Amino acid sequence: MANPCVHAQNGSGYFNQAQNLFKEKNYYEASVIFDKYLATEKHSRPRSTPFAIEKKVKGKTNVDPHQEAVYDLAESYRLINDYQKAEKYYKESIGFSEKAYPEARYWYAVTLRANQKYAEALVQINAFLEKHTEMDELLIKADRELENLKFIQLQSERVNDKFALNEMKGKDPASGYALAQRNGDTVVFTSVMQDKSNNGGGTEYMNTLFESKDSDNPLLGAEQMDIPTGKGVHDGMASFSHDGKFMFFTRWTKKNNQTISYIYTSHLNEKGWTEPVRAPEPLNMEGSNSAQPCLTTDGKYVIFSSDRAGGAGGYDLWAASLDSNHEVLQVQNLGNVINTSGDEEAPYFHDKSRTLVFSSNGHVGMGGFDIFYAKGNFGMSDWEKPVNAGAPLNSSKDDLYYISTDEDDIWNTGWISSDRSSECCLALFEVKENNSLYLNGTVVDCKTQLPLKNVLLTVTDLRHRDRFLGKYKVDTSGRYKIELHNSAHFRINVTRPDYEPSGMDYNLQIHQGTDSLMNEPICMKSVKYEKEIEKLLKSLERSSHVGNFAYKKAVLSDSAHDNLDSLAIILKKNPQMIIQVEGYTDGIGGIKYNLKLARRRVDACIRYLVKQGVSKDQLKGKSMGKCCPIAPETMDGMDNPAGREINRRVEYKVLKQ
């Protein structure tokens, strides 16, 4: 038979250890040890017999360690955003003394709401308000939670089909949040990565900035930004100047489980990003935190979140006016219309619509952080009352970091970060407004104005030249019908073997719902097909070079984009033509590594050509590795970087004309 004293001693040790971790705000570690304690406790003394502590706490007499462990475990799970597990222990806690645990029922209601059990949450919050009558902060929070539940009920009664959300998933990194546009289709986001340099010191996770040129799914092909940093330093939420060469971003460290955050700046030069510099006062203020900077498109203001003195409480939104060198002239609070006694974070400003978007847990919403928006003016600090963006942009969890990717329509396309699909962490979601645009028209001969059949139409995005929107054919009467979603700026290219290629650009306004438009006819000029083919084949023979690549990289350069654009035109005009894309590396590295790297370069080119409308059947890929240098990589026994750069290339050759 086991010795009960041993079990009691083990339980006592777990209890004390867990409580110390909880007091130090190591909530995850505390939850693990509290779990162990409760499991050990089943074999030890009766729950009503306290051990390990004999102190007295207000509202409690000789603290019952079981009750204390259950409640602190619930708190630990909540504070690491694991509401599913927290719910179980808060449910047990509401059976304890209300004097000893006055907030138990309130937090039980919050976890029920976070777990989308809205009816049960409403019962619990009303039960709490019936008994808690003291005018304190807890009553204010409970009243707001009741308003949140009423708002959620209103949202559930309407059709929440205005937006479609698509969660982005990757492999390395697997997830991300706080996406920002740098320039063109380049985006930057934050991801949480394990610090593998932490030798023997336990698992440590760091927030790091990543950059990607894949605007369809930024997590694919993303690479960590090369920013000078230090041990234990986290980087997140960046914002960039219009040319993409100046960056504000958040840098923070943790000391004694307290986060200390400041806004930093860095410049991009020919050597890369410069050593980050902490922005001076008043953008940062000693003794307070500043974070989440958002630089307006015109470069005149940077909006940020800070818990400095002079605000409405918690984290407020502030705006700093800037000179032409991004130096701060003045900082002002955005006022009590925007800010609350809670936290306002993750600002974004849509220039065309003059709309501020931010997240708050202080305004009435669906729970946690919700996305709000308000029109206003920085100079006059004049803002309209914020409006909750509603479901499905908002959920019962935390929803932050909305940005628009449409210059004209703030809600047409964008990105948000949310933990709605996770127990702990923010994930990246693509946002698209549900709208449909139906285009009708005809293709005619420019000379005769008669309809043409056998015409192929290719639709591409004007603002993202590598984004292919669709391919269509006219009917026997030369008519076409195109269906587009979330695309107000596009080009229709038309091709037919015996006619010159033609096309038209469109810049339209789109609206939520369905709309139809009749286009004016697109006309095509007749040409001699044989001469056109001969001309195209000669252009293929002139050069088979696509472009070169940086060391260990597979990112297409601007010149490679231009060469691939020309190649795409030729391939689309000659659908029977097949080419082979061949990738090469320099001589550094092993055979397997270089073959894999060369394949990535080939895939980048093929992926680009397909997005331009080229059929996959016309493209073959081959990884050559370091087999075939065309320039010497050493000269007179010395390394020749210029030669190695020439060898890091992609070429193509015609397999079938």
Give residue-wise pLDDT tens across range 509-555. Answer: 777 778 888 888 999 988 764 555 556 555 555 557 888 898 899 99
Residue 317 lies in a domain: yes
Residue with the larger pLDDT of the pair 543 and 257 = 257
pLDDT digit string, tens, across residues 284-296: 999 999 999 999 9
How many helices (H) and strands (E) the chain has is answered by: 11, 36
Residue 542 lies in a domain: yes
216 vs 415: CA distance, rounded Å: 11
In this structure, are 250 and 329 located in the same domain? yes
In this structure, are 429 and 503 located in the same domain? no
CA atoms in the 13 A half-sphere facing the CB of 522: 31
CATH number, residue 427: 2.115.10.20
| pLDDT value at residue 487 | 85
User: What average pLDDT does this structure show over 45-57?
Assistant: 40
In this structure, are 254 and 325 located in the same domain? yes
Contact 569, 597 (CB under 8 A): no
Contact 78, 106 (CB under 8 A): no
In this structure, are 364 and 486 located in the same domain? no
| pLDDT value at residue 534 | 58
DSSP assignments along 193-257, one per residue: EE-TT-TTS---EEEEEEEES-SS-TTTT-EE------TT-EEEEEEE-TTS-EEEEEEEEEETT
Q: Which of 192, 81, 75, 28 is nearest to 422 (CA)?
A: 81
> Which residues does residue 547 pair with via DSSP β-bridges, in sequence order?
650
* Count of CB atoms situated within 10 Å of the CB of 2: 7
Residue 381 lies in a domain: yes
Paired tokens of 569:
């035109």
User: What average pLDDT does this structure show over 484-494?
Assistant: 88
The residue type of 374 is A
Residue 530 lies in a domain: no
| pLDDT value at residue 5 | 39
| pLDDT value at residue 56 | 45
413 vs 432: CA distance, rounded Å: 5
Residue 477 lies in a domain: yes
Model confidence at 52, pLDDT cuts 50, 70, 90, reads very low
| pLDDT value at residue 478 | 93
Residue 529 lies in a domain: no
Residue 61 lies in a domain: yes
In this structure, are 492 and 507 located in the same domain? yes
Alpha carbon distances (Å) from 542 to 184, 271, 539: 30, 34, 5
| pLDDT value at residue 1 | 40
CATH number, residue 151: 1.25.40.10
In this structure, are 381 and 311 located in the same domain? yes
> Which residues does residue 316 pair with via DSSP β-bridges, in sequence order?
306
Model confidence at 256, pLDDT cuts 50, 70, 90, reads confident
Pairing of strands 479-484, 435-445: antiparallel
In this structure, are 144 and 112 located in the same domain? yes
In this structure, are 541 and 518 located in the same domain? no
pLDDT digit string, tens, across residues 59-112: 454 578 999 999 999 999 999 889 999 999 999 999 999 889 999 999 999 999
| pLDDT value at residue 58 | 52
Residue 316 has pLDDT above 70, yes or no: yes
* Count of CB atoms situated within 10 Å of the CB of 336: 13
Q: Among 402, 433, 464, where does a domain finish? A: 433
In this structure, are 343 and 396 located in the same domain? yes
In this structure, are 428 and 439 located in the same domain? no
Task: Give the range of the structural domain holding residue 282, as residue numbers without chain letter.
Answer: 163-433
In this structure, are 299 and 197 located in the same domain? yes
pLDDT digit string, tens, across residues 427-480: 999 999 988 889 899 999 998 899 999 999 999 888 766 578 899 999 999 999
* Count of CB atoms situated within 10 Å of the CB of 457: 20
Q: Which residues contact 49 (CB under 8 A, 6 or more apart)?
A: none
Q: Which residues contact 544 (CB under 8 A, 6 or more apart)?
A: 651, 652, 653
Model confidence at 214, pLDDT cuts 50, 70, 90, reads confident
Q: Among 157, 183, 204, where does a domain finish? A: 157
Contact 382, 392 (CB under 8 A): no
Q: Among 524, 544, 575, where does a domain finish? A: 524
Model confidence at 195, pLDDT cuts 50, 70, 90, reads confident
- Helix %, strand %, coil % of the chain (to 5): 25, 35, 40
CATH number, residue 570: 3.30.1330.60
In this structure, are 98 and 58 located in the same domain? yes
Residue with the larger pLDDT of the pair 396 and 73 = 73
Residue 377 has pLDDT above 50, yes or no: yes
**pTM summary value:** 0.68
DSSP assignments along 14-29, one per residue: HHHHHHHHHHTT-HHH
Domain count, the chain: 4
